[in-house]
Chains A and B, each alone.
Chain A
Amino acid sequence: ETGVTQTPRHLVMGMTNKKSLKCEQHLGHNAMYWYKQSAKKPLELMFVYNFKEQTENNSVPSRFSPECPNSSHLFLHLHTLQPEDSALYLCASSHSQGASYGYTFGSGTRLTVV
């Protein structure tokens, strides 16, 4: 356990469902990130929050909606997803967006859209 906790670990949802992914860290970090990891593709940065403010939205479709109520929690709200959205969604945190150290990652949520 690295200090970044993601729930649920697995999620199967229909295309008409609404669900949320949760990420929590108590490392005192101020920046949090969502990445999408698909098979045979590099990790794709989706969103960046720095001190609770969204500083990056990497052209992510609106069916993905992030929320960062405080520096310790990050959510990814999902609705009307497509089968191609099936992937591993990784959350990460760092001291700040500009910190010289790498990120601390969670174990991810394996999402399957049926």
Chain B
Amino acid sequence: AQTVTQSQPEMSVQEAETVTLSCTYDTSESDYYLFWYKQPPSRQMILVIRQEAYKQQNATENRFSVNFQKAAKSFSLKISDSQLGDAAMYFCAYRSASGGTSYGKLTFGQGTILTVHP
């Protein structure tokens, strides 16, 4: 079974600065997708960014970018020019694209609470 590990329970950053959230995963599959979700106090899980494992190019979405290291099974999220509205719980997630019992299921890490200081 796949596992996703976020080793940073909490992180903090000053407004306008850059912060990186770490995520590692364990899988024997070669075809999969990786995601970062944000969960603000409103509780709604919002998709931040998505990476396809077969693409070497790192995904970017405005101020959010990832550092995807497939061999190392690492998928970190970089938030540039942090804003107060970025404060939330961030979850890394893995989704299998192969067949089998794990097909399509989204597996989450434990989450990282991000605090943004003004």
> Which residues does chain B contribute within 8 Å of A106, judged by CB atoms?
44
Question: B63 at the A/B interface (Cβ < 8 Å)?
Answer: no
Nearest chain A CB to B95 CB, angstrom units: 7
Q: Which of B46, B95, B110 contacts A2 (CB 8 A)?
A: B46
A31-B104 in contact (CB<8A): yes
Nearest chain A CB to B91 CB, angstrom units: 7
The total of chain B residues at the interface (CB under 8 A) is 25
Q: Which of A94, A100, A102, A110 contacts B93 (CB 8 A)?
A: A102
Question: B97 at the A/B interface (Cβ < 8 Å)?
Answer: yes
How long is the Cα–Cα vector from A102 to B108 in the complex, in angstroms? Answer: 12
- Provide the B97-112 mask, 1 if CB < 8 A to any CB of A, else 0: 1000001111111110
Q: Which A residues lie at the B interface, using CB under 8 A?
A: 2, 31, 33, 40-43, 45, 48, 50, 56, 88, 90, 92, 94, 96-108, 110
Extra pairs beyond A45-B107, A103-B47 (16, CB < 8 Å) = A31-B104, A42-B108, A45-B105, A94-B104, A97-B103, A97-B104, A98-B103, A100-B95, A101-B50, A102-B33, A102-B35, A102-B47, A102-B106, A107-B43, A108-B43, A108-B44
Subset of 6 A-B contacts with CB under 8 Å: A42-B109, A42-B110, A43-B108, A45-B106, A97-B104, A102-B35
